[in-house]
Amino acid sequence: MLNLKELNWIKIAKTLIVMFISLFIFYLLIDQVIMPAYTRHGQAIEVPDLTNLMYEDAREVLSRIDLQIVEEMKKFDTSNEFPIGVVMAQNPKPGSTVKKSRRIYVIVSKGEPTIEMPKLIGESERNAIFIIKNLGLVLREVYYVTSDTSNNPHIGKVINQSIPVGREVKIGTLVDIIVISEARQFIVPDVIGRNLMDAKKVIIQAGLTIGEIYYQDDPDLLPETVIDQTPKVDEKVSRGDTLHLWVSKLPDKR
């Protein structure tokens, strides 16, 4: 039989073995379970590039890797590179490393800047041109319509515009305007008695147009002398109106 001293040593040995096994199990628990879990919890995640993705698509990409998306603001795209609803920029930047559940802030495109087409009708030509350029629009053409009377109160003002008032247009849009101009009156010159060549010069210099030329026999005048004209001398006409002439010629000899 074992004596008391030997029994005590056996008890101590058993206690040491139990402690060793307990410590070993504890070590395995830390090494295989606790530490991996802790490491994964603080593990760095690389931020993907979200630019040029639709906002909802960017949200889906981040949700797959346990990151959150936050729309920081919407912004007009003056470069015309990003359609409406597309991510223009992000913070943190692509390639950065962050922890799980980190928020990624994005700026979303509102598309190209637009403005409301202003009312140009009733403005003077000068003011209308200033308004167009000041808003970032482009004046393409100014068309002029001559007034029927010289005392028209709308002379010099815009009477029509190519884009309706209130329509949303992009910066740089081309705009045409129609302006009513003063009716300029011209006095019909007297070319009767002049030779045809001189008469044509006088008519052109007067701002008129040479019309039909009718020849008629007149033995008393040199050939190609102006006999008559219409409109008559001193009548009032507008620029470009036509002047018809009757010119002499020698009678046919038979």
**pLDDT tens, position by position, 81-91:** 899 999 999 99
pLDDT at 178 (0 to 100):
93
**Residues 81 and 50 both lie in one domain:** yes
Using alpha carbons, select from 62, 79, 173, 26 the residue that is nearest to residue 71.
62
- Is position 67 within any domain? yes
- What region does 136 belong to: left with phi over 0, alpha with psi -120 to 50, or beta? left
- Is position 232 within any domain? yes
Q: Which of 58, 87, 109 is the last residue of a domain?
A: 109
The CATH number for 95's domain is 3.30.10.20
Tell me if the pTM is above 0.85: no
- Is position 2 within any domain? no
pLDDT for residue 170 is more than 80: yes
What range defines the domain where residue 82 resides? 45-109
pLDDT at 67 (0 to 100):
95
pLDDT confidence band for 238 (50 / 70 / 90):
confident
Q: Which of 133, 164, 181 is the last residue of a domain?
A: 181
Question: Are the C-beta atoms of residues 170 and 117 closer than 8 Å to each other?
Answer: no
- Is position 36 within any domain? no
**Residues 123 and 72 both lie in one domain:** no
**Residues 200 and 168 both lie in one domain:** no
**Residues 237 and 192 both lie in one domain:** yes
* Count of domains observed in the chain: 3
pLDDT at 113 (0 to 100):
86
- Is position 191 within any domain? yes
- Is position 101 within any domain? yes
- Is position 226 within any domain? yes
**Residues 172 and 219 both lie in one domain:** no
pLDDT for residue 184 is more than 70: no
**Residues 189 and 241 both lie in one domain:** yes
**Residues 169 and 189 both lie in one domain:** no
pLDDT for residue 33 is more than 70: no
Q: Which of 67, 93, 109 is the last residue of a domain?
A: 109
**Residues 204 and 245 both lie in one domain:** yes
